[in-house]
Amino acid sequence: MGGKVYLVGAGPGDYRLITLKGLKCIKRADVILYDRLINPKLLKYAKDTAEIIYVGKAPNAHSYSQEEISQLILEKALKGNVVTRLKGGDPFVFGRGGEEALLLRENDVKFEIVPGITSAISVPAYAGIPVTHRNISSSFHIITGHEDPLKEDSSLNFESLAKLRGTLIFLMGIKNIKNICNSLIKYGQESNRPVAVIRRGTTAEQEMLKGTLETIAKKVEEVNFKNPAIIIVGEVTSLADTLSWFDKKPLFSRRILVTRTRTQASKLSERIEDLGGEAVEFPTIKIIESDDHGNIDEAMAQIEKYQWIIFTSVNGVKFFFHRMKKAGFDIRLLKDAKLCAIGPATAKELESRGFIVDYIPREYRAEAIIEELRGKVRPGDNILLPRADIARRILEDELAKLGANVDNIHIYKTIIPDYEREKLINLFKDRKIDMITFTSSSTVSNFYKILGEKNLHLLKDIRIAVIGPITAQTAKDLGMVPDIEAKEYTIDGLVDAILEYY
């Protein structure tokens, strides 16, 4: 059976601008070939078994030629694979998608084109520049900036381009900006016609320079403005002063390291990105099912004896009910137990499973929880604590002091995931991180182990935000003094504290 190829436009730098169909193609692919400008966050949606191949092409540094890329797509498809070719922007807007499609058609390989959002309209939009606007510009024209207009065999007719009164958009033209501007002036455009240059548009690193056809090239040279960037020529650029919105977001330009597990990072990352920042995910913990099934199954076999079950985390809930189902225990046996949930997220997880939570402490520290449970827990009560293997003993010990019989079962384990220490070190060496977030003591201690004590000096000017006092103390003990501590010990509380700081 033959394979199939999807030529997918992945949009600009903001990975959330990919289309629903494009995302579906990533999820179903056996093989993914992706370009330099693809946001790597798109790759996390790929199947675990997918073969992922980087075929990026940077100016003067091609890892693959276009011909080699086309042949590789064909080769993978002929082996029966579903191949997704991820291209920045739109595959048919200077993306050479037509060449790849022609080769596939010549070899009778099935393919589909999945259009993407081109940077020619999305990048200006993120800077508050509409490419058309009533009474200002009724057309826009997308032009390659790769071609030097001064070369003899240039296919660009600047004499014709200079007569256009619509918005002119040059893609990837920074190298040739001086010649582009001089050519437009030479053939009749006003030297004071407004120009905007935007680099890394739609990302937290977005920057814009404004000038005129006469002045912009010098400004680009003075600040060493580099690709990836687009050039916008036209009166619409003046609207950015009024319509800019992306750079007004409170976390714009901030790059924040998220150290939660890969599966849990999404909520914190989404909040950061919604506020204009960039979430850089580097998980320092991985949560896995406990292999100590004997104690767990023994507790579940006598589940009816417990007056209280105290869940201290969302993970505790998930792994507890996963084990109950796997071991064949009936959840109806929990009907007489009171359920205590530490924190609103834990309570929400229980409620999503149809349970009514009897008690949610106002504060989420063990010391405060004991004070609130005093008078509710009676001497002789049997209490089950399904928790992590590294959880502090204080809750268990203090409940015992109230006269309760406590069974603490390690329902899940936290371990250090596979990691690349050099990748983490380089993030700090390259000054690509403004802040580190820690959502538990284990994220802190594992981060310390991964980075290494000798590399702590790299954190000198980097802010540290923690979710609560226990996490804060762990960070202090390891030589990382927090700058920000959430007042409410939740993800929303942590984000609120970060916003207050900035």
Measured between alpha carbons, how far is 9 from 189 in angstroms, rounded to an integer? 33
3-state SS record for 135-168? CCECCEEEEECCCCCCCCCCCCCHHHHCCCCCEE
Q: Which of 230, 235, 236, 246 is nearest to 118 (CA)?
A: 230
Six token digits for residue 396: 């268990």
Decide if 1 is catalytic.
no
273: part of which helix (H) or strand (E)?
helix 265-274
Decide if 300 is catalytic.
no
Alpha helices in 47-143 (DSSP H): 66-78, 97-106, 119-126
Place of tokens 């002119």: 168
CA 69 to chain centroid, in Å, comes to: 27
Question: Other CB atoms closer than 10 Å to residue 307's CB: what's the count?
Answer: 16
CA atoms within 13 A on the CB side of 146: 7
Q: Which amino acid is at 67?
A: E
Contacts of 18 (CB under 8 A, 6+ apart): 8, 10, 11, 26, 42, 116
Q: Are strands 110-114 and 435-438 parallel, antiparallel or unpaired?
A: unpaired
Place of tokens 């290494």: 452
> Given phi > 0 = left and psi -120 to 50 = alpha, else beta, which region is 135?
left
CB–CB of 257/389 below 8 Å?
Answer: no
Q: Are strands 286-289 and 405-415 parallel, antiparallel or unpaired?
A: antiparallel
Measured between alpha carbons, how far is 188 from 244 in angstroms, rounded to an integer? 30
Q: Which of 326, 324, 382 is nearest to 355 (CA)?
A: 324
3-state SS record for 310-332? EECCHHHHHHHHHHHHHHCCCHH
Task: Single out the catalytic residue among 76, 172, 208, 480.
Answer: 172
Task: Single out the catalytic residue among 57, 267, 286, 413.
Answer: 57
Measured between alpha carbons, how far is 118 from 120 in angstroms, rounded to an integer? 5
Six token digits for residue 265: 């990072």
Task: Single out the catalytic residue among 4, 14, 30, 35.
Answer: 35
Measured between alpha carbons, how far is 67 from 100 in angstroms, rounded to an integer? 9
Task: Return the bridge partners of 74, or none.
Answer: none
The residues annotated with a catalytic role in the active site are: 35, 57, 172
